[in-house]
């Protein structure tokens, strides 16, 4: 599990502001070890991947955590072995801003999605941002970086989802309208790249007249699953859609999830031809029982789109789910829970 903390965890060295952390748990929820790192600035852990040799942590910084990088917003990757020792660490960046999103892994390397922002001193409307796909080998050496500028040139762009399947990389993108007077309109895009070369292959554009976001992605041998969030102006809250595509970006099925109140759907994972999504909701009516505050939930579908289960959990305060992972050993929800004076992290096995 990764994230950031404004204090030391279990006596780990703490630098300043926010430091990133990495925590390893055993199958029964016992904490095995904690590692923290950071700089004089603000440092976040944003994603984690694993292979048979260790753990890869992706993070963001506005200072210098490791050697390399630029002078403003950078990102870094750290590889740890399974005992918590650093194998290698690298920081990446330019004199402009690089913001990492998520990370995926296959046998040839690491894939990072995010955005690039040019450093300018002019007005907001002239600040250009670009969606980026980076690839690194498993030693942290840069393989390629690909920028998407086709139609996304002004205002805010971001990319939160990435997955690798059958030698292809799938990336989600959303962008506010290029018209400063119409920034509530959100345009979204699902793109496919060749994993080896990074060459763009095809995309689906969704130009909406309302707020619409494509979020995180999961993939298995049967296809790609994507979280989609849409604004319902008549109800005054967002509802969610899980959409499954094949590798050619043909839509196979979609399932609407109406949370009946303010909610987020923040994680998705798949295993054995089943898909598991999770988030948090304020509603007492969506998935019984009512527990209190903002509760965590999970909702589960087969590869053909048939719902086969759900779960709701929480306490008297707010639980915010940040990620969902399904493994052969169980289904795990990770996030934060409100406590007096701040928030703690939680890991729940279902």
CA distance 181 to 177: 9
Of the listed ranges 95-99, 246-250, 312-316, the least confidently predicted one is 95-99
Edge-to-edge strand ranges of the sheet holding 295-302: 263-271, 274-281, 295-302, 307-313
Range with lowest mean pLDDT among 17-31, 59-73, 98-112 = 59-73
Residues 94 and 73 reside in one and the same domain: no
Predicted local confidence at residue 181, as pLDDT: 40
Spatial distance between the Cα atoms of 213 and 243, rounded to a whole number of angstroms: 12
What pLDDT does 124 receive?
44
* Exposed / middle / buried, residue 329 (Cβ in 10 Å: 0-12, 13-18, 19+): exposed
Q: What is the pTM of this model?
A: 0.90
Contact 202, 151 (CB under 8 A): no
Residues 261 and 130 in one domain: yes
Mean pLDDT computed over 182-187? 51
Q: How many helices (H) and strands (E) does the chain have?
A: 0, 26
Q: Using a pLDDT cut of 90, give the percent of the chain over it.
A: 53
Q: Which domain holds residue 207?
A: 87-349
Q: How confident is the model at residue 179, as a pLDDT?
A: 43
pLDDT of residue 121: 52
Give 322-347 pLDDT, tens digit per residue: 999 999 999 999 999 988 888 899 99
Read off the DSSP letter of residue 128: B
d(C-alpha 296, C-alpha 276), whole Å: 13
- Half-sphere exposure of 196 toward its Cβ, with a 13 Å CA cutoff? 2
Residues 63 and 126 in one domain: no
Q: Which one of 67, 86, 105 terminates a domain?
A: 86
Instruction: Please report, rounded to a whole number, the percentage of residues in the chain having pLDDT higher than 70.
Output: 87
149-154 long-range contacts (CB < 8 A, ≥24 apart) are 151/187, 151/205, 152/187, 152/189, 153/128, 153/178, 154/125, 154/126, 154/127, 154/128, 154/129, 154/178
Tell me which of 28, 61, 86 is where a domain ends: 86
Whether 272 and 130 share a structural domain? yes
pLDDT band at 238 (very low <50, low <70, confident <90, very high): confident
* CA gap 337, 349 in Å, rounded: 15
277/218 Cα distance (integer angstroms): 10
Distance CA 208, CA 212 (A): 7
pLDDT value for 141:
95
Q: In the predicted model, what is the mean pLDDT of residues 81-107?
A: 91
- 138 and 2 housed in the same domain: no
- Which of 58-62, 82-86, 243-247 has the lowest average pLDDT? 58-62
pLDDT > 70? residue 37: yes
pLDDT at res. 155? 52
Instruction: Tell me what pLDDT residue 64 has.
Output: 82
pLDDT at 180 over 70: no
Q: Check residue 84 and give its pLDDT.
A: 97
Q: Given this model, what pLDDT does residue 207 score?
A: 61
Q: Which of 68, 86, 104 is the last residue of a domain?
A: 86
158 and 303 inside one domain: yes
Q: What is the pLDDT of residues 200-230, one digit of tens each?
A: 999 887 665 567 777 899 999 999 999 988 8
Q: Which CATH number goes with the domain that contains 225?
A: 2.120.10.10
Same domain assignment for residues 64 and 202: no
User: Does residue 97 share a domain with residue 67?
Assistant: no
Using a 10 angstrom Cβ sphere, with 0-12 exposed, 13-18 middle and 19 or more buried, the burial of residue 240 is buried
pLDDT at 33 over 60: yes
pLDDT above 90: residue 289: no
Query: Do residues 101 and 169 share a domain?
Result: yes
Q: Is the pLDDT of residue 128 over 80?
A: no
How much is the pLDDT for 282? 81
Question: Could you tell me which residue, 126 or 141, shows the higher pLDDT?
Answer: 141
d(Cα 285, Cα 327) in Å, to the nearest integer? 29
If you average pLDDT over residues 173-188, what whole number do you get? 56
d(CA 13, CA 53) in angstroms, rounded, equals 25
Same domain (yes/no): 105, 45? no
The mean pLDDT value for 179-205 works out to 76
Q: What number is the average pLDDT over the span 277-302?
A: 85
In this structure, the answer to whether residues 39 and 95 fall within a common structural domain is no
pLDDT value at residue 156: 58
Give φ, ψ of 124 to 5 degrees: -55, -40
Same domain, residue pair 303 and 288: yes
User: Which two tokens mark 345?
Assistant: 């992290």
Domain count, the chain: 2
């Amino acid at each position: 599990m990764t994230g950031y903390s404004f204090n030391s965890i279990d006596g780990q060295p703490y630098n300043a502001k926010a430091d990133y952390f990495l925590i390893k748990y055993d199958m029964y929820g016992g904490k095995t070890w904690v590692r923290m790192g950071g700089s004089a600035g603000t440092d976040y852990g944003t994603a984690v991947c694993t292979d048979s040799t260790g753990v890869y942590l992706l993070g963001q910084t506005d200072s210098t955590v490791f050697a390399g990088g630029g002078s403003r917003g950078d990102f870094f990757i750290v590889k740890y072995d399974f005992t918590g020792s650093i194998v290698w660490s690298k920081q990446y960046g330019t004199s402009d801003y690089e913001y990492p999103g998520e990370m995926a892994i296959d046998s040839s390397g690491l894939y990072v999605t995010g955005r690039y922002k040019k450093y300018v001193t002019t007005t907001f409307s002239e600040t250009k941002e670009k969606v980026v796909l980076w690839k690194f080998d498993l030693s942290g050496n840069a393989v390629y970086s690909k920028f998407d500028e086709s139609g996304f040139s002004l205002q805010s762009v971001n990319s939160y989802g990435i997955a690798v399947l059958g030698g292809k990389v799938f990336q989600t993108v959303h962008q506010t309208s290029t018209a400063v007077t119409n920034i509530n309109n959100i345009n979204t895009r699902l793109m496919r790249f060749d994993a080896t070369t990074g060459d763009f292959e095809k995309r689906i554009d969704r130009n909406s007249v309302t707020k619409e976001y494509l979020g995180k992605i999961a993939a298995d041998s049967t296809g790609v699953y994507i979280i989609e969030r849409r604004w319902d102006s008549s109800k005054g809250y967002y509802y969610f859609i899980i959409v499954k595509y094949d590798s050619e970006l043909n839509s196979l099925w979609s399932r609407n999830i109406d949370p009946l109140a303010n909610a987020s759907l923040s994680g998705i994972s798949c295993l054995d031809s089943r898909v598991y999504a999770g988030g948090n909701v304020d509603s007492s009516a969506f998935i019984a029982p009512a527990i209190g505050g903002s509760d965590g939930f999970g909702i589960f579908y087969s590869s053909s789109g048939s719902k086969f289960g759900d779960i709701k959990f929480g306490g008297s305060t707010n639980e915010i789910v940040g990620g969902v992972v399904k493994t052969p050993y169980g289904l795990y929800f990770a996030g934060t829970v409100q406590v007096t004076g701040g928030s703690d992290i939680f890991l729940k096995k279902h």
